[in-house]
Amino acid sequence: MHTQLHNRLSSFYFSYYFFVGAFVPYWALYLQSEKFSAADIGILMSLFQISRIFAPNFWGWLADHTGKRAQWIRLTAFLGLCGFVAVFWAHGFFWMFFVMGALSLFTSSTLPLAESLTLAHLATTNGHYSCIRMWGSFGFIVAAVVLGYLIDMTGITSLLWLLLAIQLCLFGLSYTLPEPKVAPHEHDHFSIWQVIKQPNVIALLVGCSFMVTAHGVLYNFYSIYLSEHGYSKGTIGLLWSVGVVCEIAIFMLMPKIMVNFSLKTILLFSLFLAVIRFTLIGTSVDSLWVIVLAQTLHAATFGSFHAASVELVSQFFKGRHQAKGQAIYNSVAYGVGGAVGGVAGGFALQYLGGQSTFVLAAIFPLLGLAVIGFGLKFSAKEQNIKGMFG
């Protein structure tokens, strides 16, 4: 892959996930400082997952229909920036709901468009997705660690200004992304519904949704849960970063892992470890070392799982369906799954407590294990396919 293109894509991923690393661990704490209840926070945070059900599909269709990806990334980044500015004036549930709803419509679409653009470039340059995606993980770590200590020193409102700055940076970087050349594929004459209704595609989307449902609880309430058990903001940031450091390690190892294991095996192992991870978080929150151990499992519950899922999506949705495929994956898995986890997790946290909530969350990857195990079936030839990672 050309070095300049690699650097541009890596920089964009770094900045995008820097925003995520600032938003995911600390935005719920900001909402808590604004006196919202756990149920209110669950509803507000789930707006981003709900938007993923609809918005990415519109932008994905637009990208595939026009043959343009970079220009729509620039537009969604600009509209996301405009939406975030309104947060400074949003107080009270109604106004925060309106502003976060509008913001989520655009920020939820930027990533699947960037994923399809990156995979399209990789298809013609023989690059490795994991080598680019790991820079996003670096961005997450820097944001999570720096913000934790910054908030401890200056207060939670400093979060707003940093998020605004990174939105500006992201918008600027969107102009460095070149349009890819999407090669025609032999199945381009298939309708998108002919692809979606394949049993393997259905099993993958449903299994991924169950995994993300559990992570919807994690992303929305993990920081609040730890804070209520006496962890400082700095420690919370470090714990988030432990998971992402392990995520980076697994991304670096993915090319070798995919040579030796099928994508289905990787998904099943990741789901099994997710059951263990959420059980540990729910039962042993007062033991720092157990929580650190649980965070190391993020390498599997997100890292290897996401890498294998994106690769399978890129195999199922090819040619002119590539952007729509990534959008559908984000909509079903992160939209439906994340929204269910976010909303249900908020009410569970409020009425059952954090420990019961995280133990119950472990049920969802267990369901995903069954769906992927029995529903995802490949021929011997398909099992040996090596994708962008290997």
What's the pLDDT at 378? 65
Phi and psi of 184, rounded to 5°?
-65, 150
pLDDT value, residue 387: 44
Give the predicted TM-score (pTM) of the model.
Answer: 0.74
pLDDT value of residue 300: 92
- Cα–Cα distance, 323 to 328 (Å, whole number): 9
Range of the domain at 141: 3-181+189-383
Please report the DSSP string for 53-108 in residue order. HHHHHHHHHHHHHHT-SHHHHHHHHHHHHHHHHGGGG--SHHHHHHHHHHHHHHHH
d(CA 323, CA 51): 17
Taking the C-alpha atoms of residue 336 and residue 48, their distance in angstroms, rounded to an integer, is: 10
Q: Is residue 389 part of a domain?
A: no
Predicted local distance difference test score (pLDDT) of residue 335: 82
283 or 45, which is more confident?
A: 283
- How far is the C-alpha of 50 from the C-alpha of 167, rounded, in Å? 21
Q: pLDDT band at 390, cuts 50/70/90?
A: very low
**Cα separations (Å) of 77 from 100, 107, 172?**
15, 7, 9
Task: Encode burial over 73-107: b for 16+ CB neighbours within 10 A, e otherwise.
Answer: bbbbbebbbebbeebeebeebeebeebbebbbbbb
Per-residue model confidence as pLDDT tens digits over 317-373: 766 666 677 778 878 888 889 889 988 998 998 899 999 999 999 999 999 999 999
Q: How far apart are the first and last CA of the chain?
A: 14
Better pLDDT: 69 or 44: 44
Answer with the residue of higher pLDDT: 227 or 114. 227
Q: What local confidence, expressed as pLDDT, does residue 320 receive?
A: 61
Neighbours of 168 (CB within 10 A): 14
**What is the structure's pLDDT at 385?**
43
pLDDT in the model for residue 338: 86
Kindly report the CATH number assigned to the domain that includes residue 154: 1.20.1250.20
Question: Per-residue pLDDT tens for 120-148?
Answer: 777 665 666 777 878 888 898 888 888 88
Confidence grade of residue 211 (pLDDT, cut at 50, 70, 90): very high
Return the exposure string of 54-63: e unless at least 16 CB atoms fall within 10 Å of the residue's CB, then b: ebbbebbebb
The pLDDT of residue 323 is 64
* pLDDT confidence of residue 213: 95
Residue whose tokens read 């595939």: 64
Cα radius of gyration (the chain) = 20
DSSP type of residue 174: G
The predicted-structure confidence for 242-277, as pLDDT tens digits, reads as follows 998 898 888 888 888 988 898 899 999 999 999 999
Sign of CA dihedral 292, 238, 44, 211: negative
Percent pLDDT > 90 in the chain is 27
Highest-confidence range of 168-177, 271-280, 301-310, by mean pLDDT? 271-280
CA distance 43 to 369: 27
Please report the pLDDT score of residue 388 as a whole number.
40
**Residue that wins the pLDDT comparison between 97 and 315:** 97
Please give the tally of structural domains in the chain.
1
* Average of per-residue pLDDT values in the chain: 83
CA distance 60 to 321: 9
Range among 40-54, 132-146, 219-233 with highest mean pLDDT value: 219-233
